[in-house]
Amino acid sequence: MSEQNDQEAEVVLYEVRGAIALVTMNRPEYHNAQNSRMTYALDAAFRRACDDDEVKVIVLRGAGKHFSAGHDIGTPGRDVNQSFERSSLWYDHVNKPGGEFLYAREQEVYLGMCRRWREMPKPTIAMVQGACIAGGLMLAWVCDLIVASEDSYYADPVVRMGIPGVEYFAHVHELNPRIAKEFLFLGERMPAERAYQMGMLNRVVPRERLEEECLAIAGRIAQMPRLGLQLTKQAVNNAEDLMGKRATMDMVFGLHHFAHVHNELTSGDKLGGYDAKAMASSQRKAAEA
Q: Which residues bind Zn ion (CB under 5 A)?
A: 106
Using the minimum distance from each CB to Zn ion, give the nearer residue, 21 or 170.
Answer: 170
Task: Provide, rounded to whole angstroms, the least separation between the CB of residue 257 and Zn ion.
Answer: 7
Query: Which amino acid would we find at residue 167?
Result: E
Using the minimum distance from each CB to Zn ion, give the nearer residue, 106 or 144.
Answer: 106
In degrees, to the nearest 5, what angle opens at C-alpha 180 toward C-alphas 108 and 155?
65
Using the minimum distance from each CB to Zn ion, give the nearer residue, 229 or 271.
Answer: 271
Sorted by sequence, the CB contacts under 8 Å of residue 68 that are 6+ apart come out as 25, 31, 32, 33, 34, 62, 131, 132, 133, 135, 136, 139
Using the minimum distance from each CB to Zn ion, give the nearer residue, 94 or 231.
Answer: 94
CA atoms in the 13 A half-sphere facing the CB of 48: 16
| CA torsion angle 54 57 62 66 (round to 10) | -160
Starting at the edge strand that comes first in sequence, how are the strands of the sheet with 153-155 ordered?
131-133, 153-155, 190-191
Give the DSSP letter of residue 91: P
The kind and range of the H/E element at 266 are: helix 245-267
Task: Provide, rounded to whole angstroms, the least separation between the CB of residue 161 and Zn ion.
Answer: 9
Using the minimum distance from each CB to Zn ion, give the nearer residue, 103 or 154.
Answer: 103
Task: Provide, rounded to whole angstroms, the least separation between the CB of residue 183 and Zn ion.
Answer: 18
Neighbouring C-beta atoms of residue 175, cutoff 10 Å? 21
Using the minimum distance from each CB to Zn ion, give the nearer residue, 168 or 196.
Answer: 168
